[in-house]
A = this chain, B = another copy of it.
Amino acid sequence: MSALTNAIDILRCFSTSRPDLSFADVQVLTGKPKSSTSRLLRSLRDCGLLEQDPHSRRYRPGLLTFELGRLHRAHDDLIATAERELRDVCARTGHTGYIAVLDGYQQVVLRIVPGSNPLRVVNPPGQRTPAIITSNGRAMLARLSDQEIRARVPLDYPKVPANSPQNFPELMARLNEIRRTGISDAADEAIEGVGSQGFALASGESGELIGIAVSYSVQATTEIERANVRRELGAMAAKLRRMTGDPLGQTIEQLAGLAS
C-alpha cells in the first residue's frame, strides 16, 4: 500500500450520501490504525485535497478537488455534442436528461439537463450508481465484450431492486436485447416511481463511451408519451452516431475503470 493508495482510499469514502466525514468515520471506513488515519488526514488537508470544518472538525473535499473537478472533461467534444442534442430533446419532451460514464461496473453522472416537468433531481452530477440498474448504464455495458462485462460485475452479484436483472444471466439477457434494439429502458429501479430510456454513444476516434438517458415519472406518463420518448431517443441516437463516427458493430475495450 503506497501512501497515495491510502490517500485515495480515504477520498473514495466521500460520496453524495456522505459529503463530509469525521475522523472516526474515516477510521472505520478505511479500517486503518488511528495513527495512520491521523497522519493521512493531515497530509490531505495540508495539500488541499481535503478541508476541515474548524467548528465540527469534520472533513470534506477540498478546494483543489473543486478546481480540478471543474476541468474534468470541460473540453470534451463527445459530451458537449451529446449535451446539445439532449437539451433539444428535453426541451421538446419536458423530461430530465442525463449523461453518464462507466467506471468499473458503476456509472457516474456527468451532466444533467433539467426538464420543464417538476421532477426533483435526486441524481446530481457526481452521483455514483451501479450501472446494471439504470437504462443508460446497461446500454454502456452492452457495448462491452461479454468477457469484459463478466470481469467488471462483482462475482457475488449485488443486491438490486426488483425490476433490475437479479443475476448475471438475467443481466446478459437484457444486454443482448439492448444490443438488438439499440435502446435501453428502466422503470422503478434506482428510484421508485421513476422510469428512463437511454442509449450508449461511443466516439470513433477517442474510443470514449458515454450513456445518455431521459427520465420521467412513471405515474405521470402515458404509454403514448413513452413511445414518443423512444422515437425522440432513436432519432437522437442515429444523429449522434453519425456525427461522432460511432463504431456500432465493434465492442469497446476501455483501458481504465476496472471493477472495484
Contacts and interface: CB of A to CB of B under 8 A. Distances in A.
Contact of A69 (B54, B69, B103, B206): B69
Nearest to A258: B46
A19 B71 contact: yes
A62 B72 contact: yes
A49 B206 CA distance: 19
B206 A53 contact: yes
A2 B3 CA distance: 8
B43 A4 contact: yes
B108 A63 contact: yes
Q: Please state the number of chain copies in the assembly.
A: 2
Contacts of A205: 55
A61 interface: yes
A54 B3 contact: no
A72 B66 contact: yes
Contact of A54 (B45, B60, B255): B255
Interface in A157-211: 205-207
Nearest to A51: B256
Interface of A: 2-5, 7-8, 11-12, 14-16, 19-20, 43-45, 47-49, 51-55, 60-75, 101, 103, 108, 110, 124-126, 128, 205-207, 255-256
25 contacts: A2-B3, A3-B4, A4-B7, A4-B44, A8-B64, A11-B68, A16-B70, A19-B71, A19-B74, A20-B75, A49-B68, A52-B256, A54-B255, A60-B71, A61-B69, A62-B72, A65-B65, A65-B69, A66-B69, A66-B72, A66-B125, A67-B108, A68-B69, A69-B69, A71-B126
